[in-house]
Chain A
Amino acid sequence: MPFLALANIKKSFGQTQVVHDFNMAIEKGEFISFLGPSGCGKTTILRMIAGFEQPSGGTIHINGKDQTRLKPNQRNIGMVFQAYALFPNMTVFDNVAFGLKVAGQPKAEIETRVKEMLKLIHLEHLADRYPYQMSGGQQQRVALARALAPKPQVLLLDEPLSALDAKIRVSLREEIRQIQRQLGITTVFVTHDQEEALSISDRIVVMNAGRADQIGTPSDIYNRPTTRFVASFVGTLNIIEATIVDPAAGTVMIGDQTIALRESIADKTGGETISLALRPEAGSLSESAKGDTALTGKVVSANFLGSVVRTRIAVGKNTVSFDMFNSPDLVMPAPDEVVTLRFSAGDLLVIRD
């Protein structure tokens, strides 16, 4: 039985249904990210797990126990909020001790546990500070320690890095992942930042309009998106329209060029238009590049982005982008130059909406 089980969860606000029959089984110690654009229902699901919202239907079980109708203060869940939500009138020590004091733990135990937590987040020396005397990153680490102090069953992270600057965001997300692994706590993380989700999750749930479009490992989500939405939302992806020539042979026509796909399209019919996905990093202009497939097109633009040069070429009605790693001897393609893009047929995915 999964540690955290969400079964047929529905949620409506008035006439609007924001979560549709959501099912998910999370194992103990897993780090799951809910990824999606604003309004896709990811925060609503998190708030239902926390108990701040009541599902309109379905059940939530943690460790085999039905939590669906329990109040937030009865669930033993830790939560970190986007806005830190530290109590401004309390010191760091008192903030971390809050949950333990509420639970009526003995003073000595509280002190030991708080010190342990502050050591975990490397802020032992700031125990007497007030939240307004600390930076955003420090405040969010304190919020994490406060959530973990009462030893919750599940840790919920509601976009905890959104309010921080880029550099701190990266270091803090690594710290969160390290602490999560160290404690082995089941964690649900909500974010709209794909890089965050891809970098620290065991599995990612890509949410779209109140439904889980795809649930899978970061590699699955990135390399094998199953829907057009996932393909377009996660990473930069070329969506290429192609016409099927021979379904049995797996050949398609892009513009006036015919190529063979590795993925079977035997279920399709000849003349049908399908969408293919190709990552920008999958292609290369080099003649020595590995790849059994080639597309010839005219360069539309070539932009220097620092570590890579992103080139866009026109192939029939499609514009295909691909990235080349920057190097001092790299020659940037000129606009209107005719080039051949080489890639493996295995990198072309058929989008099945």
Chain B
Amino acid sequence: MKMSKFFAWLAIAVGVTYFFVPLLGTFEFSLRMRRGEYSLDAYGSVFSDVQFQQTFGFSMLMALFTIAFGMLLVVPTAYWVRLRLPQMRPFVEFVTLMPLVIPAIVIVFGYLRLYNSSSYIPFTGSTFGTNILLVMSYITLSLPYMYRSVDTAMRTIDVRTLTEAAEILGAKWPTILFKCIFPNVMSGVLSGAFITFAIVIGEFTMAALLNRPAFGPYLQLVGANKAYEPSALAIIAFAITWLSMGLIQLVSRFGKLTQSRP
């Protein structure tokens, strides 16, 4: 075996050990709730907890709103930048990358300062308003992933020619966007949606500081007060993320299959 190949395998082995040993340990620990034997009691306890159901349901709802409104913002923006304002592209990319470099805690403190109950737009003055603010903050957090996945999907189709083809056939902007462009970037939209879902389900900072009953703060609460359930929750959270990643793979493969042949 060549030396370079040996080091490649060594690097993979170290990486796999680093990632999987703690996960295996967590999984094994989550099965030990019953003394002296393995069981799924910790999972049973988690699933039967009313707070788990409420917080998970709340986060799911927030994730759905984030995806829906996020895509309504991102798809037309990416389309417009690609079609009419290509010179704005570096600026838009910079803006969409900002949430990666600005810590969530800074963003949420900014929100609290701008939208507190004594401000001109008092989002935090009501539960409904705070929920809107939470969805907006999640859209901000997931912007880098949503924008990139949609923009990449748009790169695979000839947006300009498809738009012109629809326009010359008499179509107006809403028809062009929702009937000709949107369905063809669906793989990107779904990829962005699954990533957004994974982010929102585990997000802690925004939900905790806006005092909303989301899944992230619940994970922290359980982690601080119970022994085996946090491990079970960690495994569940991983499973959700992996499921999302698997679905991304699936839709992107489906998207590649249906590309128009030149």
Contact = CB atoms under 8 A, between A and B. Distances in A.
Interface string B157-170: 11001101111111
Contacts of B258: 88-89, 130, 132
Nearest to A99: B169
Nearest to B163: A85
A79 B168 contact: yes
Contact of A132 (B164, B183, B186, B260): B260
Interface in A116-154: 130-132, 134-136, 139, 143, 146-147, 150
Interface string B52-77: 00000000000000000000000000
Nearest to A89: B183
Interface string A64-85: 0000000111011111010111
Contacts of A76: 170
B170 A73 contact: yes
B4 interface: no
Identify whether the interface residues of A are mostly helix, strand, loop, or mixed. loop
Contacts of B165: 79, 81, 85-87, 143, 146
Contact of A98 (B158, B164, B169, B184): B169
A51 B183 CA distance: 26
B107 interface: no
A99 B171 CA distance: 7
B171 A87 contact: no
Contact of B168 (A50, A83, A89, A103): A50
Given A87-B180, A88-B184, A99 B162 contact: no
A194 to B, nearest CB: 24
A88 B168 contact: no
B175 interface: yes
Contacts of A135: 261
A107 to B, nearest CB: 17
A131 B158 CA distance: 14
Nearest to B164: A52
Nearest to B258: A132
A330 interface: no
A247 to B, nearest CB: 54
Given A85-B162, A86-B260, A103 B184 contact: no
A81 B164 contact: yes
B172 A73 contact: yes
B262 interface: yes
B262 A103 contact: no
Given A88-B260, A89-B183, A150 B164 contact: no
A83 B259 CA distance: 13
A167 to B, nearest CB: 17
Interface size bucket, A side? 35 or more
A163 interface: yes
A98 B165 CA distance: 10
Interface in B219-255: none
A72 B259 contact: no
A102 interface: yes
Contacts of A84: 260
Contacts of A163: 262
A102 B183 contact: no
B161 A83 contact: yes
Contact of A103 (B170, B179, B183): B170
A317 to B, nearest CB: 47
Nearest to A152: B168
A89 B258 CA distance: 8
A75 B165 CA distance: 13
A99 B258 CA distance: 23
A89 B257 CA distance: 12
Contacts of B172: 73
Nearest to B261: A132
A323 to B, nearest CB: 36
B172 to A, nearest CB: 6
Contact of A102 (B170, B186, B261): B170
Contacts of A77: 168
B217 to A, nearest CB: 41
B162 A72 contact: no
User: By CB atoms of chain A within 10 A, which of B165, B180, B262 has the most?
Assistant: B165
Interface in B86-137: none
Contacts of B168: 50-51, 72-73, 75, 77-79, 147
A88 B262 contact: no
Interface string B176-192: 00011001101000000
B157 to A, nearest CB: 7
Q: Which 7 A-B pairs have the closest CB atoms?
A: A99-B169, A89-B183, A85-B165, A85-B161, A102-B170, A88-B260, A72-B167
Given A83-B161, A99-B169, A150-B170, 4 more contacts: A52-B167, A71-B167, A73-B167, A88-B184
Interface of A: 50-52, 71-73, 75-79, 81, 83-89, 98-99, 102-103, 130-132, 134-136, 139, 143, 146-147, 150, 163
Interface of B: 157-158, 161-162, 164-172, 175, 179-180, 183-184, 186, 257-262
8 contacts: A52-B164, A71-B167, A73-B169, A81-B164, A85-B158, A102-B169, A132-B258, A146-B169
